[in-house]
Structure 1
């Protein structure tokens, strides 16, 4: 398949290069004026996600604007709860609302019977992207990791009180385990369909993995990621898998040590030298730059970016952020960042 033998894919599989391949989390998004225009055309955010032509268009936008080495599917991690039967809405200025917040009764009502029918437009977006992307630009598919998606489902939206969800795990471990198992199955099925439609790498985003005790992290983040990765490799052994468990600190080594993990993303709080010494021998490292540096721009951004690149010279590394672009990011700063890495 076109895009399989590219700098990005080869790097995920263990090849070092200089300069490294570049892509960015949230490279398609509100910081781009062309995205805002397409978003207005679509109507609601979910309408944009489910409109295959418009979702493909916003995926293409940063590829047209910048010299990037990979595209990432435009979708949202909360499409899975909606496909399982929980109501999902995005309120202007308030973020996602999932109703009602999931309890044991709600869990029993979830169903995967229509998941692929609901998510069919996403698979069509993948097909449109594979047909339209340049051969040297591979497509990354993605999903939210089970724990992160579960936090939204249980809280009814963005997690405002992490302690309450830890308490939920301790108080009713059976319920949380059943929910995680449900999400492992649904997420695996979703990602397999993305691969079959043309995705050439997969990233699993675990945004809320941080702040968990080790035994809880193992139960709700590490072990589910291992199960998903194993099933994906069983289906498509050549498709690289990137894990991004944000905020887990030294536990990142456990994720990098998973046999089916090709790469791990590091957040902006992860020490770069530690990642070079500890993670690079186990998996390709991706990311690390504070996205707020790109908002600031100028010499602080360029100096940090070059220092990050130099830290990983000689080992497989993908240049990226430690989290996604914020809406305040000036697009011209992104151009300057890419130029700095390409010319370093």
Structure 2
């Protein structure tokens, strides 16, 4: 068991492998539609993308849940598709349907895209604004989408249920797909280094669609690219905590944890905490993994789930979080109850 310490930045110390005196907590998508102050600001600013690229507004959104709940971590308000936007694809959001990218790379060559680095700069301005306002107890986290997940959007032009188009493309066009993955790696490293330079203290790699892949494809398109991103980041910032979150990985989490070099592993809600504790490296910080629907339900379902997770992970570095993003219809009083239980 790690040494128990008392630090003003509990989350940062936990990510560094220390067992803190209390369990730090933050929630994925904690800055978003379940908050009335977010809905009010977005109504003023217009669309989601406009909000992301307005540094003052995006900083305010990033800080809203910190001001309301006092989470131990502030996660940058942005989107994983900033990378393809900066790589040269057009990005917009269809009301009620989600993001769209054009041209789709099933129909256009990667080489046809013209880089738009100003989109990265807009996010760095948000980071600088948040860093200048954040208190000295809250860890500031940046993030990026992992190459596989970003590639699915770049090829298909939008999200899908099973990523079949991208999976087929990767099988049929191995060389071209590898070139796309390499380009995403290069841009993601640049993007995350820029976030660190602007003021974030840790980063998370979101691989939202990792669960769609066979073991061989998971090794090739999830583990290897994430390992390369982490290698390059650590070469410049050896102490930078990096959370890997391959949603849906299941038993493949063992290989991911052992091969990527991630500082911590995020667990989605389908992972049994007992299995994770027994099968992942003993000193590796784990993050998660309350079912977002248990948070919506509240009551006994919430209490039992929270207590079970805390009990299972009580002897290792652990960050309490959801197994995926908080849902828009989550009652605020349930979030307050969650924090009471964790604290």
TM range (shorter): over 0.9
Measured in 2, the distance between the counterparts of 1:163 and 1:199 equals 35
Q: Which moved more, 1:272-281 or 1:135-144?
A: 272-281
CA distance in 1, matches of 2:194, 2:163: 32
Q: Which runs of 5 or more residues in structure 1 are unaligned?
A: none
Deviations 1:24-47 (A, max 9, x none): 000000010000011111111111
Structure 1 vs Structure 2 CA RMSD? 1.4
Q: What residue in structure 1 maps to residue 207 of structure 2?
A: 206
Match of 1:228 in 2: 229
Does structure 1 residue 148 correspond to structure 2 residue 149?
A: yes
Q: Deviations for 1:69-91, whole angstroms, at most 9, x for unmatched residues? A: 11000000001111111111101
- Give the SS at the match of 2:20: coil
Where structure 2 has 5 or more consecutive residues not aligned to the other structure, the ranges are: 1-6
User: How many pairs does the alignment contain?
Assistant: 337
SS in structure 2 of the partner of residue 210 of structure 1 = helix
8 Å contact 1:53–1:125 — kept in the other structure?
A: yes
Q: Do the aligned partners of 1:261 and 1:283 also contact (CA within 8 Å) in 2?
A: no
Task: Answer yes or no: is 1:67 the counterpart of 2:45.
Answer: no
- The question of whether the paired residues in 1 share the 8 Å contact of 2:269 and 2:289 is answered with yes
Could you tell me whether the CA contact under 8 Å between 2:223 and 2:260 is conserved in 1?
A: no
Q: Distance in 1 between matches of 2:29 and 2:274?
A: 25
2:9 to 6, 11, 26: 6
Q: Distance in 2 between the 1:5 and 1:125 partners?
A: 24
What is the match of residue 335 of structure 1? 336
Q: What whole-Å deviation, never above 9, does each CA across 1:277-321 have from its counterpart, x for those lacking one?
A: 112425210011100111111121011101101110011000000
2:190 aligns with 189
1: CA distance, partners of 2:263 / 2:316 = 13
Secondary structure of 2:132 counterpart: helix
User: Structure 2 CA distance, aligned partners of 1:160 and 1:106?
Assistant: 24
How far the C-alpha of 1:118 sits from its partner, in A, is 2.2
1:6-45 equivalences under 5 Å are: 6-45=9-48
Q: Which residue of 1 aligns with 2:89?
A: 86
- SS at structure 1 position matched to 2:25: coil
CA contact (8 A) 1:72 1:141 kept: yes
Q: Deviations 1:44-76 (Å, cap 9, x if unpaired)?
A: 111100000000000010001102111000000
Aligned to 1:245: 246
In structure 1, how many angstroms separate the alpha carbons of the residues matched to 2:292 and 2:79? Answer: 20
User: Deviation digits for residues 116-163 of structure 1, max 9, x if unmatched?
Assistant: x22111101111111101101010000000110110111110123423
Deviation at 1:259, TM superposition (A): 6.1
CA distance in 1, matches of 2:168, 2:180: 15
Q: Following superposition, which runs of at least 4 residues in structure 1 exceed 4 angstroms of deviation?
A: none
Please point out which of 32, 53, 57 is paired with 1:54: 57
SS of the residue 1:288 aligns to? strand
Determine if contact 1:280/1:315 at 8 Å carries over to the other structure. no
Q: Counterparts of 1:196 and 1:16 in 2: how far apart (Å)?
A: 27
After superposition, the C-alpha distances for 1:165-215 in whole angstroms (9 at most, x for unaligned) are 221111111111111000000000000000011100010000000021111
